[in-house]
Structure 1
């Protein structure tokens, strides 16, 4: 076998913590802004695979299990020099095997959408990415009896419940990992936690999400939760990823957080069951779908 053929032979193996630095370099090669710490976070919360040849790692794909019924797929990257060679398909097939019969979610970019459809995924929504640094959040009034307060240790069980109902995912395995990386604010109604918003470092700045609140045509609760973090971090680079049906996109544009990208949310093996009384107004991580 020639040296060239050997160099292009692909082996797929499990992702390990030792792969984080190489995976980070791979993500920089495709112009993703993830830090090494962002990679460590998603790797701790999930499982995955790498594709490698004699030059090193040329592809990655991770997945996260939400109980026995659902999971998500993300961090699917193939080196620019090795794209269109079937590597991405092999990696996604491996994580699908890992997820078994679970309902699988992912966010697909336009180039990746045809591959996802060929693997049985169907569109179930969109996510709109807003970001910026020069914003001027207004003061948002909440309904009578409601207020914002810091999250406390006794709120974890309720947060997991609200996040699970809003997303349709069993968040018990992943939410505690996300909470350890985040600051949080609670939406409180006379002593009952009815919503929350998390805030953490990500990429070149910070991300707000998940943001969960009661589902309503009145967006004041979601706006108050988001504005809380914006007002505390004026001048910082902040990103907010919102489902396309929230009605918040124009408001974020007006605040100085313009729309910069949009991806398609896709599902395989059926839809998720979500509580219509609770809504996820922003997600904290596209790979986690949460």
Structure 2
């Protein structure tokens, strides 16, 4: 057990589990983030969490979660350091460990403006940007007339095939969790073929729309509208800024911009898959 005199750059890093859920939520709250237990539980069970314990026994002082998509990519998210240890090198130590553990596996993350300089020093490069939107969907602007319905168990294999094609890697371990994780899961269908899917999952007082995978902008719009019709909560989502038409439509329908995050990668030139049909991640923490 480390003592209070243990140098911060030598504090042990351990693997987190679902038993650390409350400690992770406490850490989020410490930094002024929502507790987000529902999201933390998904990430800790589907991914690998790393944490540093307070040498004084006061919970976690740093945490991060890595979601693996095989040797082709891992996503880093929920990088947090307790306020009392901020700007003392703890976050750098944790991130250096995570990068080292990844070895040759390419990495991606969504960076806030505050975190981006550290990630650049660790070899991450800026490859895109995502805009976070939030608000009650008003349906002021027309919704494309595209067939949308609730997903069923029989849709799973088709959804997995479409997701692998567009995401560029197999994320079966995440997509198969959507029926339990999300409150609403919808698919777009034409002539018996699934052309898109989207989920709305609960996050504090909102429903987060993600993933949002669709053949085109009109299909993405129809999926969002169907999810909005299923909830009284505000929607929140993170849209690739290259999807300008979808962003304009969402803002005309009541959602407002609240933040931008840089999409960064390490050890590869860009994200795999087809960004033109990938509108929003499941969560920025998992890609």
TM-score, normalised relative to structure 1: 0.89
Give the drift of 1:256. Answer: 1.3
Mapping 1:1-290, distance limit 5 Å: 5=5, 10-52=11-53, 53-54=55-56, 55-133=58-136, 135-136=138-139, 138-142=141-145, 146-182=146-182, 183-215=184-216, 219-234=217-232, 236-247=233-244, 248-270=246-268, 271-275=270-274, 279-289=277-287
Q: Aligned with 1:233: secondary structure?
A: coil
CA RMSD, 1 decimal: 2.0
Structure 1 gaps, min length 5: none
Whole-angstrom distance in 2 between the partners of 1:257 and 1:274: 27
Give the drift of 1:229. Answer: 1.3
Q: 1:102 to 1:253 in 2, by over 3 A?
A: same
Residues 137, 227 of structure 1: 8 Å contact kept: no
Structure 2 gaps, min length 5: none
Note the alpha carbon deviations across 1:237-272, whole angstroms, 9 max, x for none. Answer: 221211111112222222111000110000011033
Equivalent residue pairs, number: 279
Give the drift of 1:139. Answer: 4.5
Q: 1:272 to 1:260 in 2, by over 3 A?
A: closer
Q: Aligned with 1:230: secondary structure?
A: helix
Whole-angstrom distance in 1 between the partners of 2:274 and 2:252: 30
Note the alpha carbon deviations across 1:29-64, whole angstroms, 9 max, x for none. Answer: 112124322211111110021112223310001101
Q: Aligned with 1:5: secondary structure?
A: coil
Q: Aligned with 2:39: secondary structure?
A: helix
Give the drift of 1:210. Answer: 0.9
Residues 137, 228 of structure 2: 8 Å contact kept: no
